[in-house]
Structure 1
Amino acid sequence: MEEGEEAAGGLREIGNLASWSVTSAKPGNGVELLRDGDAATFWQSDGVQPHLITAQFEQRVELLELHLLLDFKLDESYTPNKLVVRAGTGCHDLKDIAVLDLKEPSGWMKTDLWHLGPGQQVVPLRAFCLQVAILSNHQNGRDTHVRGVRVLGPRPHPQSSLGFPLSLEAHAAAGPYATVR
């Protein structure tokens, strides 16, 4: 899926809106490989755990899903098995959103970042900063491989970007004009 591309269910990839960083990287396996769209390449950490992947957005964004591309068959002890997803207004106030315990993952691992609000309506997570902390790897591996990262948000309604109301019925004064004869 290309950056900004539409996904199924009214989602779009918004990772291109973020500035990405990692705590460490082996030469030749840097942060840019997380977002290159190639499953054959990977970011490899080079240091002590936890290994951090951080996405910082210039403005607060609505987040619905986080996808991580992992492959135990190829990466073995480099494959994460315990991760924590955190979010906040910056790196200084991150709160744990999800804890993932993975068993030999293969493919895109999806994590929901939303919760249900009143009336069972999906409410996106709103944040400036999203972070994945890799706490441990399979087989007690030290460094880690992550082959891809995608962040999905809601697709904006076309009228909202033009400054028009989403519904004429929402405005009492527009009532007589809300239908066509």
Structure 2
Amino acid sequence: MEIRLSSFKKNYGLEQLLSKDESTYWYTDGSLPHYIEISFRKRTYVEYVQILFSFSKDDSYTPDYFEVLVGDTKDTLQKYKSITMVEPEGYTLVNINLHCVYIYINILRNCQEGRDSHVRHLIVNTQQPRDMQCK
């Protein structure tokens, strides 16, 4: 799995986004939209993505509207979900439950019309649920 960010301020990039330390975060650098591009070497089952937001800590830097696009090539990406939040606090769960090569998370708006975004953590779960058998 490879993850790319649209932009980031020095010392506020991918390492901070993937850190389990919730005091660290990805801090974008530039105008909206901002994006997280997740890609796999081959079609991979993605169960869900979780994204941590904290309005109480980040105020106008907190995203409140984003879209998730999925596809097998960059040219075939399709909008899968649109998510609107009100002053989000905690993890936002995005169920994917698909095989794909690319996932784009496009941040299109922040709370209070903020320009840059803070995202505190990203989890991508690629484990396919095992078939359960009752005996």
Q: Do the aligned partners of residues 135 and 90 (structure 1) sit closer, same or farther apart at CA in structure 2, a change above 3 Å counting?
A: same
Q: Is 1:145 the equivalent of 2:118?
A: yes
How many angstroms apart in 2 are the aligned matches of 1:144 and 1:79? 6
| Further displaced range: 131-140 or 55-64 | 55-64
Larger radius of gyration: 1
Letter in 2 for 1:128: V
Question: TM-score, normalising length from structure 1?
Answer: 0.69
Q: Where does residue 51 of structure 1 map in the other structure? A: 34
How many angstroms apart in 2 are the aligned matches of 1:84 and 1:156? 25
Picking from 29, 51, 57, the partner of 1:74 is: 57
Q: Sequence identity, in percent?
A: 31
Q: Where does residue 91 of structure 1 map in the other structure? A: 74
Do 1:80 and 1:134's aligned partners in 2 also have CA atoms closer than 8 Å?
yes
The CA RMSD measured in Å over matched residues stands at 1.9
Letter in 1 for 2:81: A
Question: TM-score, normalising length from structure 2?
Answer: 0.91
Residues matched between the structures, number: 133
RCO higher in structure (CA 8 A, sep ≥6): 2
Do 1:26 and 1:46's aligned partners in 2 also have CA atoms closer than 8 Å?
yes
How many angstroms apart in 1 are the aligned matches of 2:47 and 2:84? 20
Q: How does 1:90-129 map to 2 (within 5 A)?
A: 90-113=73-96, 124-129=97-102
Q: CA deviation at 1:155?
A: 4.1
How many angstroms apart in 2 are the aligned matches of 1:141 and 1:98? 22
Q: CA deviation at 1:92?
A: 2.5
Q: What secondary structure, in the 3-state scheme, does the structure 1 residue paired with 2:116 have? A: coil
Q: What secondary structure, in the 3-state scheme, does the structure 1 residue paired with 2:76 have? A: coil
Picking from 127, 133, 144, the partner of 2:106 is: 133
Q: Which has the higher helix share?
A: 1
Letter in 2 for 1:23: S
Q: What secondary structure, in the 3-state scheme, does the structure 2 residue paired with 1:154 have? A: coil
Do 2:46 and 2:128's aligned partners in 1 also have CA atoms closer than 8 Å?
no
| Further displaced range: 25-34 or 97-106 | 25-34
Structure 1 residues not aligned, in runs of 5+: 1-17, 114-123, 158-166, 168-181
